[in-house]
Amino acid sequence: MVEISEEFCKILGYSSIQHFDESHVGNNVIWDDLVHPQIIPFTNRYAMEALVKGLRSFQRPCIFRKSNGRYLSVNLLVQFDNDYTVFKTSILQQYSEVSHDLSGEYIVREFRGKQACLELDDTFI
């Protein structure tokens, strides 16, 4: 389950948490509902690696679906609870809006080119 903040909702183009919730009526919001479909395998890998390494937080690039159907490229901080069942996300830096289909070059540069997804400079204590 994803913990959504007011600020996060506004960045994604929703006027409030209530507006976000109304847009997702009847659904428990999961990560795959928020992230660009081409990026989900990478974000899942980051989360699994954090769990295996016992890390409670890390930062990585990510692309989120906005309310208008476009996507926003960001640098994201992820913080897990003690049981790794809920996590809080914070956007550290916003970049640009991107279209639905990401170029292969972008994916290689931002995601596949990273040999280790959680290097020392990516973790927070």
CA nearest to 13, candidates 95, 92, 70:
70
Give me 67's structure tokens. Answer: 């309310």
Q: How many structural domains compose the chain?
A: 1
CATH number of the domain that residue 91 is part of: 3.30.450
Domain of residue 90 covers 2-122
Task: Please tell me the predicted confidence (pLDDT) of residue 118.
Answer: 47
Strand 71-80 to strand 87-98: parallel, antiparallel, or no bridges (unpaired)? antiparallel
Task: Please tell me the predicted confidence (pLDDT) of residue 77.
Answer: 87
Percent of the chain's residues with pLDDT above 70: 78
Give me 69's structure tokens. Answer: 């159907």
Task: Please tell me the predicted confidence (pLDDT) of residue 8.
Answer: 82
pLDDT (tens digit per residue) in 57-106: 888 888 888 888 888 888 888 888 888 888 888 888 888 887 767 777 77
